[in-house]
Structure 1
Amino acid sequence: MRKKRVLLLSEGFGSGHTQAAYALAVGLRELDPSVRTRVIELGKFLNPVLGPMIMNAYRKTVSKQPKLVGMVYRRQYKKSLNRLTQLALHRLFYTHTSQVIAQLKPDLIVCTHPMPNAVVSRLKRLGLDVPLYTLITDYDAHGTWTSPEVNKYLVSTPVVKKKLTDRGIPDSRIEVTGIPVHPNFWKEHDRSEIQKQFDLKSMPTVLIMGGGWGIMYSDNLLDYMTRWREQIQLIYCVGNNERSREKLLADPNYQHPNIRVIGFTKEISKLMDASDLLVTKPGGMTCTEGLSKGIPMLFYEPIPGQEEENCEHFVQSGFGEMLTSTAIIDKWFSIIQEPYASVQYRRDLMIKRNQQYNPTQCSRAVLQLMQ
């Protein structure tokens, strides 16, 4: 019998979309090794020159003009990508998408970004007969995700489902699955082993993340944390942003035995298990990974738009707090120094997590839908 094939299409506008695609792909194979998966960032794959140039321009805009990004997000909030935009995308990047699909012969296509989702939708209008699932990778539902050709929407929460039904999408085409995380986040790792692996001390630990792009604004709150370096172990993770890493390493405030500055790593699940508090930008993927670990979170500098919505969801759900003052740092850094209080808080979060989220649910749902 021919093995089932799943094609997952993403784009590199932030790392979370592609991480979600890989997380779902690995999760599917973990649950059913007979399933074959392929993850592709279409823009970079089909146009290796122009694609990265556009991604880099977007990255600079997010870094330098986040308010502009938020303004565009809100202005287009209820609008799908229009036919002209879809045609332009198709001509610029995806003229060979149908050839890729024909070559790979997937039984199912999952899109984790609105752009490939729009292009595959257009191909379906032109005759492509492959089921299209749209995995919305945030805790909001921007209009660009929606298209009549989508067979099933996989969403993070009932709130996102309601936003889609309010736009006229039938309830039967939406399933609340949660955002998938890599199987590394499905299990708990031994803290003492992680400390040995990363040469960490056995002491209260805070993990500070700037997302896949390592965007850490010149925020004095992040600098303020270094004042706790005698009592708190600080791990700054700056992703692929080598310039940010070099800048922090050159700063005397960060030159201390209890401060670690690291770049990209695939071991975030372990670092979360070795930490007592996560300080992060509220990207949908990172927040969901923190949720899966039941680690308390502090959110800083949300990009206007989807990150604000992500932040609001997790704050209202009791999984985190906005980092707005040094008083909040002092409060949480004091809490994690009290062993009983820290353990009890995390235990309570795990109970709450189990009521709202199952890390394996999205992968299981897709397998069931395939059957």
Structure 2
Amino acid sequence: MRKKRVLLLSEGFGSGHTQAAYALAVGIRELNPNIVTRVIELGNFLNPVIGPLIISAYKKTVSKQPKLVGIVYRRQYKKSLNRFTQLALHRIFYTQTAQVISQLKPDLIVCTHPVPNAVVCRLKRLGLDVPLYTLITDYDAHGTWTSPEVTKYLVSTSLVKKKLTDRGIPSSRVEVTGIPVHPNFWRTNDKSEIQPQFDLKPMPTVLIMGGGWGIMYSDNLLKYMAGWRDSIQLIYCVGSNEKAREKMLADPIYQHPNIKVLGFTREVSKLMDVSDLLITKPGGMTCTEGLSKGIPMLFYEPIPGQEEVNCEYFVESGFGEMLISSDTIDKWFSLIQEPYTSIQHRRDLLSKRNLQYNPMQCSRAVLQLMQ
């Protein structure tokens, strides 16, 4: 008997969209090994020369002109990608999408980014007969995700569902599944077993993440955190920003036995397990991974738009706090040095998480919808 196939389409505009696609794919296979999954960053796959150039230009815009990104986000907030835009995207970048789908013969397509979602919606209007699930990878519902051709929306919270139904999307077409995380985040590892893998000591530990593109916080506060290095173990994870990593490694303030400066790593799950506090940008994926681990979070410099909404959700839900000054650092760095208080706080977050989020729910939901 032919195995069922799930095609997951994403784009490289931020690492979270593709991470969500891979997390869902791995989760599906772990729950049902008979399902075949394939993840494709569609633009890069179809245009391996032009695609990376466009993404690079987008990165520069986000890092250098975040206010412009916010303005565009808000102006288009309630608007779907119109048919002319969908046609232009298809003609310029995605002309071979139908051929790819025809070759792979998926039983189901999941899109984790609005652009491939719009392209597949256009193909469905032209006769493509494959169910399309749209996984919204933030804690907001921007209009560019929406289209009449979407079979089912998979969303992070009931609040996002309400935003979609308020726009006229039937409630039956929206399912609250949470954002999927890799199965590594479904489980908790023992600190004492993991610490030697990273040459870490059994002491209060803070994980500072710069995001998938390595966009870090201001030098002043990074150095202020390092000033705690005698009593707090600090793990700086700067992502793909190798220049930032080299700069930090050359700075004497970070040359200390209790400070680790890491580049890109696939061990974030373990690093969260050995840490008592996460300092991060409020990207939908990283926040959800932190939520799944029940680690308290401090959020810095949200990009105007979806990151602001993500931050608002997690702060209001009690899973994190905005990092607004050195006073915030002093408060939390002192708190995690009190073992009972720190352990109890994490237990409280895990209990709250269990009421609001099941890390396996999205994978399970897709399997149930395929039956």
TM-score tier after normalising by the smaller chain length: over 0.9
Q: Give me the CA root mean square deviation.
A: 0.7
Match of 1:194 in 2: 194
Match of 2:325 in 1: 325
Show CA shifts across 1:50-77 (max 9, x none): 1000000000011111111011101110
1:62 aligns with 2:62: yes
1:205 aligns with 2:205: yes
Match of 1:180 in 2: 180
The CA distance in 2 between the partners of 1:276 and 1:218, in whole Å, is: 22
Deviation at 1:219, TM superposition (A): 4.5
Matches within 5 A, 1:208-357: 208-357=208-357
The CA distance in 2 between the partners of 1:58 and 1:296, in whole Å, is: 30
Match of 1:4 in 2: 4
Letter in 2 for 1:314: F
Letter in 1 for 2:318: G
The CA distance in 2 between the partners of 1:344 and 1:258, in whole Å, is: 25
The answer to whether the 8 A contact 2:233-2:259 is kept is yes
TM-score, normalising length: structure 2:
0.99
Unaligned runs of 5+ in 1: none
The answer to whether the 8 A contact 2:217-2:300 is kept is no
Unaligned runs of 5+ in 2: none
Match of 2:37 in 1: 37
Match of 1:97 in 2: 97
The CA distance in 2 between the partners of 1:219 and 1:314, in whole Å, is: 25
1:73 aligns with 2:73: yes
Deviation at 1:222, TM superposition (A): 2.2
The CA distance in 2 between the partners of 1:217 and 1:336, in whole Å, is: 21
Letter in 2 for 1:247: K
The answer to whether the 8 A contact 2:298-2:321 is kept is yes
Secondary structure at the aligned position of 1:261 is classed as strand
The CA distance in 1 between the partners of 2:223 and 2:79, in whole Å, is: 40
Secondary structure at the aligned position of 1:43 is classed as helix
| Count of residues in Structure 1 that have an aligned counterpart in Structure 2 | 371
Deviation at 1:2, TM superposition (A): 1.1
Report the identity percentage.
Answer: 84
Deviation at 1:82, TM superposition (A): 1.1
Matches within 5 A, 1:109-148: 109-148=109-148
Letter in 2 for 1:88: A
Deviation at 1:251, TM superposition (A): 1.8
Secondary structure at the aligned position of 1:313 is classed as helix
Deviation at 1:92, TM superposition (A): 1.6
Secondary structure at the aligned position of 1:228 is classed as coil
Secondary structure at the aligned position of 2:239 is classed as coil
The CA distance in 1 between the partners of 2:247 and 2:17, in whole Å, is: 27
The CA distance in 1 between the partners of 2:217 and 2:247, in whole Å, is: 12
The CA distance in 1 between the partners of 2:74 and 2:81, in whole Å, is: 14
Which stretch shifts more, 198-207 or 85-94?
Answer: 85-94
